[in-house]
Structure 1
Amino acid sequence: MVKHLFNSHIDWVGGRNSIGDLQAGALNEKISIPETMAGPGVGTNPDEMLLGAASTCYSITLAAMLERNEIPLEHLKVEGQGVVDVTKGIFTYEKITYHVFMKLAAGADESKAIKLAERAESSCMISRAIQGNIKLETIIKIEE
């Protein structure tokens, strides 16, 4: 059994509307509550980082699945959108939608690529971690 260890370090001084420093591997970023949630909007925030983690994991998983299935990929673009609901002061991350744009090499099996793109949603580690808590949707377009 192989286990990988990841670490983060946060320096935070003050209350809700303060600005902190996050260091996690190569990531070194200011953090705060976004302006849309009545915060200072400096750096990134947990909502963006969760969306970024999910989108990154999905993209890498899909690229690996296409490669393993010998489907030549010329270009992959994944645009993620996260929806956070606020009801009675309670913030709930409701949904992540992946808008997937794939350009395949001539002659590649498009239907198999689409099936893999759908399967990648439930195959990546982050998707499995949030499964049952956040709805996931994948919209796939094969580009010419």
Structure 2
Amino acid sequence: MGIKPLFTATATAVGGRNGHSEASDGSVSVDLSVPKEMGGPGNPDTTTPEHLFATGYAACFGGALDFVASQHKKNAKNAAVTCSVTIGPRDEGGFGLMVKLHVKDTSLPEAELRELANEAHEKICPYSHATRGNVPVEIEVEGV
């Protein structure tokens, strides 16, 4: 399976989880530290790779949802997508991730919003494609 490249984002991290990460174009520049819950210092004014992944997935999924909604002549431009990324030890060793997407749009009936979210997840969102079969992703919806 191939893709036709449209855009490439590049970032470099130095120092791993207790270091610094920056996009090559300067659009993102963050200091990182391991959270206290994981035995790290949890330094103030820092972030984690999980925060960055959650932010990207939420934005990407919101775009996919809006695209799917427009294909069905619906409007999901004001949908709020909250992405929670959890990290923890895997039974097989190492660490793994779990994702929960909460989609809220009080302008759409809940059943309709669920169908749109499922279609965005199954057919459009590249983060959903990348995680499928590797990371458990749970989708919750909140409509009217």
Task: Name the TM-score class by shorter chain.
Answer: 0.7 to 0.9
What are the equivalent positions in structure 2 for 1:88-99 lying under 5 Å apart? 90-93=94-97, 95-99=98-102
The superposition leaves residues 85-124 of structure 1 with CA deviations (integer Å, 9 ceiling, x where unpaired) of: 225873221x2111111132xxx67644431111112321
Report the equivalent of 2:136. Answer: 135
**Offset of 1:82 from its aligned partner?**
2.3
Secondary structure (helix, strand or coil) at the match of 1:103 reads coil
Counterpart in the other structure of 1:119: 119
Segments of structure 2 that go 5 or more residues without pairing to the other structure are none
SS in 1 for 2:104: strand
Alpha-carbon distance change, 119 to 91 in structure 1, aligned in 2, over 3 angstroms: same
The separation in 2 between residues aligned to 1:20 and 1:98, in whole angstroms, is 28
Residues 137, 87 of structure 1: alpha-carbon distance in 2 compared, 3 angstrom cutoff: closer
Mark the CA change 1:55 to 1:39 in structure 2 (over 3 Å): closer, same or farther.
same
Question: 1:137 Cα deviation (Å)?
Answer: 1.1
Return the structure number with greater strand share. Answer: 1
Match of 1:101 among 95, 99, 104: 104
Q: Structure 2 length normalisation: TM-score? A: 0.78
Helix, strand or coil: the match of 2:73? Answer: coil
CA RMSD in angstroms, aligned pairs only: 2.5
- Contact kept, 8 Å, 2:102 with 2:139, in 1: the verdict is yes
Pair 66,11 (structure 1): closer, same or farther in 2 beyond 3 Å = same
State the shift of 1:140 in Å.
Answer: 0.9
Given that residues 80 and 99 in structure 1 are in contact (C-alpha distance below 8 angstroms), is that contact kept between their aligned partners in structure 2? Answer: yes
Larger Rg: 1
- The alpha-carbon distance between structure 1 residues 11 and 118, as it changes in their structure 2 partners (threshold 3 A), is same
Assess if the C-alpha contact under 8 Å between 1:30 and 1:44 holds in 2: yes
